[in-house]
Amino acid sequence: MTGTYLLLKFLHILIAILALGTSAGLGIALEFYGRHPVHGPFLLRVIRRMVAFFVLPGYVLILVTGLWMVSISWPLTTRWVQEAVALWAVGIAVLAGFLAVLGKQLRMLETDGPGSRSYQRVSLVGRALGAGLGLVVIFILYLMVFKPAA
């Protein structure tokens, strides 16, 4: 392995830990405090900013470093690479949906309160999107580690 590849691999894993770890931590905080009448709106605003300014750029950098590593060591026609990139695109779409739902969730929390049925429905959609994104990440991780039918 070349020095460039190892450096990219290090950066790729570091960015993944920071971006994906932050994303998971924000999801946990949201589950615990997202419905709090006083702290919930603040938490939702913090989560929206963290996702927009930290998690989302991390996901983009993960793609960049991953494709750069692939260009050094694997053909782009490799099946696990194509599947991982396709899943990444699904993950970005889910993340964009999550951000939209999060904005709606914040508005509803501030206007209707955490006990309203409308807020609870939107909160459930947000949780489902977060869980879906988590599954996408797990499948991508599986492909990267095991490289099935490489």
Buried/exposed 14-23: b ≥16 CB within 10 Å, e otherwise: ebbeebbebb
Q: How many CA atoms, within 13 angstroms, populate the side-chain half-sphere of residue 132?
A: 18
SS3 state of residue 103: helix
pLDDT of residue 48: 94
Per-block mean pLDDT, blocks of 10 residues, the chain (150 long): 92 96 93 88 94 95 97 94 97 96 93 92 94 95 90
pLDDT of residue 21: 93
**Alpha carbons 7 and 40: distance in angstroms, whole number:** 40
Other residues' Cβ atoms within 10 Å of the Cβ of residue 25: 12
pLDDT at 37: 84
Q: What is the pLDDT of residue 1?
A: 67
pLDDT at 150: 64
Instruction: Please enumerate in sequence order all residues whose Cβ is within 8 A of that of 114, keeping only pairs 6 or more positions apart, or say none.
Output: 34, 35, 36, 37, 40, 120
Instruction: Show Cβ contacts of residue 11 under 8 Å, excluding neighbours closer than 6 positions.
Output: 61, 65
User: What is the DSSP secondary structure assignment for residue 116, as one 8-state letter?
Assistant: S
Query: What is the predicted pLDDT for the residue at 149?
Result: 80
pLDDT reported for residue 85: 97
Q: What pLDDT score was predicted for residue 34?
A: 86
